Amino acid sequence: MSTSTLSSSTALQDRFGRAIRYLRLSVTDRCDLRCNYCLPKGFDDYEEPKNWLNFDEMTRLVGIFAKAGVSRVRLTGGEPLLRRNLPELAARLAALPGVEDLSLSTNATQLGKHAVALKAAGVKRINVSLDSLDKGCINTITGRDSFDAIMAGIMAGKAAGFAPIKLNMVAMRGVNEHEIQRMVAFCLENGFILRLIEAMPMGDTGRNAQYMDLNPIREQLVSQFDLIPEVAELGGGPARYWQTQDGSGRVGFITPISQHFCATCNRVRLSVDGTLYMCLGQEEKFEFAPLLRGGATDEEILAALQHAIELKPEKHEFKEQPGKIIRFMSQTGG
C-alpha cells in the first residue's frame, strides 16, 4: 500500500505532550574512524548487511513518519557516507511530502567525493565532527591519519553551498579543552557554527571520555567573544545558541549531563536495522523490520509507530545511572 493512501494526521505526541517532529536515520553502523569516545579499538560487532533496511524500506518508513508529522530528517551513522549510493536515498527522502528539512551528520573524510551530489539531491545542511584543529590531536582521537581528509571535506562542503555548516566538538578535559577558544575563532572566521558537546556515557568508551561541564566554558566564551543569547531556533536539535553582537557568528552548547534538555526532546532515532530508539539514555525501542518485511500495511505500521512513541521515556539518566547504556553511539545512530 502506498503511503499516499494514509490520511494526514496530527504530529506524533508522546505521553508527556512532546510533539515528535525530528527523525535521525542511521544508514550504516560502520565508520572509517575509531574516535576514542565512540568506538573501541578492534571493534567489529557490526550489524550484518542482510539486516540493513534497504532504500525502499527506508523511504517507505520515512514517508509514514512524515505523514505523522515528522518534518526533519537527518542522515546519520556510523559514518553515513560509507553507505553506497547515499545521494540516491537523499533524493528520494527529500522528495517525500512533509519532509521539509533533510540534513547530514558526517566525519567529512568522504565528503570531498560526495558534497556536490548530496547538495543536488536535496541535503540542505551538514554537521561535521571536528574535535580539534591540531593534526596530532585529531589523529589520536580518531585513531586514523584523518585530519587532512576531514579538513578537505569541510571545505568541499562549503564550496558546494551547504549552509549552515555546523562543527561538533566534544569537549574533553585534558584532551582538547585548551583548543576551544581557537575553535570558536576558526568558526567565526570561516562562517561555520561551532557546537560544543558534553561527552555522554554511551558504552565503555563514552564513560571513559574526560567529561567537562560546559557551563563554565560558556561563561568564558560569552565574555571573551561578547556573545548574546540567540532567540531563533536553528535546526530543531538540542543545542542552545549564543551569537555575536552583529549576528554574524554563533556558538551552540549541547549539555545532556549538566543541563539536560529532555523536557523539549522532539526526536527519535532509527538504526540501520530498523530499530527505533526513543532515547539515547534509555532502552525503550521498537523493531520495524518485521513489519516492513512481513506484509504490514502502511496503516498498521503507522499504528505501530504511534505505539512506539508512547514508549518514549520522560528523560535519560546519564547522571543517575552512567553505566546503564552498554551500546555504543554508532549502534544507536548518532
Q: What is the pTM of this model?
A: 0.90
**For the segment 127-179, what is each residue's pLDDT rounded down to a tens digit?**
999 999 999 999 999 999 999 999 999 999 999 999 999 999 999 999 999 99
Per-residue pLDDT at 301 exceeds 80: yes
119: its cell numbers = 547538495
Per-residue pLDDT at 182 exceeds 70: yes
> Is residue 78 marked as binding?
yes
Residue 8 lies in a domain: no
Mean pLDDT of the chain: 88
256: its cell numbers = 545532556
Estimate the share of the chain in helix, then strand, then coil, as percent rounded to the nearest 5: 35, 20, 45
**For the segment 102-120, what is each residue's pLDDT rounded down to a tens digit?**
999 999 999 999 999 999 9
> How many C-beta neighbours within 10 Å does residue 85 have?
9
> Is residue 38 marked as binding?
yes
**For the segment 309-330, what is each residue's pLDDT rounded down to a tens digit?**
999 998 765 555 555 555 555 5
Residue 118 lies in a domain: yes
Q: Alpha helices, DSSP H only, in the chain?
A: 55-67, 86-94, 111-121, 135-142, 147-160, 180-190, 203-208, 214-225, 289-292, 298-310, 329-332
> Is residue 279 marked as binding?
yes
The CATH code of the domain that includes 265 is 3.20.20.70
> Is residue 277 marked as binding?
no
With a CB cutoff of 8 Å and minimum separation 6, the contacts of 331 are 29, 47, 271
Total domains, the chain: 1
Residue 247 lies in a domain: yes
> How many C-beta neighbours within 10 Å does residue 159 have?
12
Residue type, 82: L
Residue 11 lies in a domain: no
Residue 1 lies in a domain: no
> How many C-beta neighbours within 10 Å does residue 131 have?
25
Burial class (CB in 10 A: 0-12, 13-18, 19+), 193: buried
Q: Which domain holds residue 303?
A: 16-332
> Is residue 265 marked as binding?
yes
Per-residue confidence at 44, pLDDT binned at 50, 70, 90?
Answer: confident
> Is residue 187 marked as binding?
no
Residue 211 lies in a domain: yes
> Is residue 24 marked as binding?
yes
Per-residue confidence at 200, pLDDT binned at 50, 70, 90?
Answer: confident
Per-residue confidence at 4, pLDDT binned at 50, 70, 90?
Answer: very low
> Is residue 2 marked as binding?
no
> Is residue 278 marked as binding?
no
Residue 9 lies in a domain: no
